[in-house]
Amino acid sequence: MQYHNSHLARFIDRPNRFIAHCRLIATGEIVTVHVKNTGRTTILQPNVTVSLVKSDNPARKTRYDLVAAKKYDQFWINIDSQAPNKIVKVGLQTNYIQLPGIRQITEVTPEVPFLDSRLDFAGIGDHEKQFFLEVKGVTLENRGIAAFPDAPTTRGLKHVKTLQKALDKGALSYLLFTIQMENITAMTIDTDIFEPLAIEIAKAQRRGVHVLAYDCHVTADTLTLNRPIPFDLKQPFISDGLPSSIKKRI
């Protein structure tokens, strides 16, 4: 996935979930930008290098979208919440993403209503196997461990329950975490932020829902699926210098 007309800037502040102020590195101009991620993205700290994409739409209130940030000035994290579905769609269509139980994906349909939910993808695999797949973008990282979510998500919890209901209809079900950075060793759930999600995912795995994770190669203006990453609910996530299992006892 390629972003066009990108510009480097320094992050200043974020008055609300939707907008931020940044200083363009090339000109020094301070611009108000749209943040393409309404979650509690912790990477957006003062003076962090960010990547902005300039819009050609003259009617927009903000001329730029903030799509990526450089953590510790060492590696890029893509924070565009719309990007994971775009690259996963291509990954499914090209069979780059390997789904357990399916050797060849023959049909992919995005945004599919199912019962009282809408899942990101449905499709058909070899031998006419129907599947449903939900994508979750991941921008939270510490010490090479990626974690989800960055805020409590009742919507995410509902999706995991819906994937289990798809099993009851005879379909295969997949939950795919798209880690919007690379050099990740494991993917887990931050139980300090939303433990009910970890409990429900454990239940879903026991029932047969496949939980997958892929990291991505990220630059200031590109996002590309990279490789499978182990998903481990037992992996502690270290936040603020303390593992979540320790923080709960303090």
pLDDT tens digits, one per residue of 67-82:
999 999 999 999 999 9
CATH architecture of the domain 83-247 equals 3-Layer(aba) Sandwich (3.40)
- The predicted model gives 208-220 an average pLDDT of 98
pLDDT tens digits, one per residue of 8-48:
999 999 999 999 999 999 999 999 999 999 877 789 999 99
Report the chain's mean pLDDT, rounded to a whole number: 94
Distance CA 146, CA 200 (A): 19
pLDDT score of 247 more than 50: no
In this predicted structure, what is the pLDDT of residue 44?
94
The domain defined by 6-74 folds into: OB fold (Dihydrolipoamide Acetyltransferase, E2P) (2.40.50)
Domains 6-74 and 83-247 share a fold: no
- The predicted model gives 129-158 an average pLDDT of 96
pLDDT tens digits, one per residue of 157-200:
999 999 999 999 999 999 999 999 999 999 999 999 999 999 99
Domains of the chain, residue spans: 6-74, 83-247
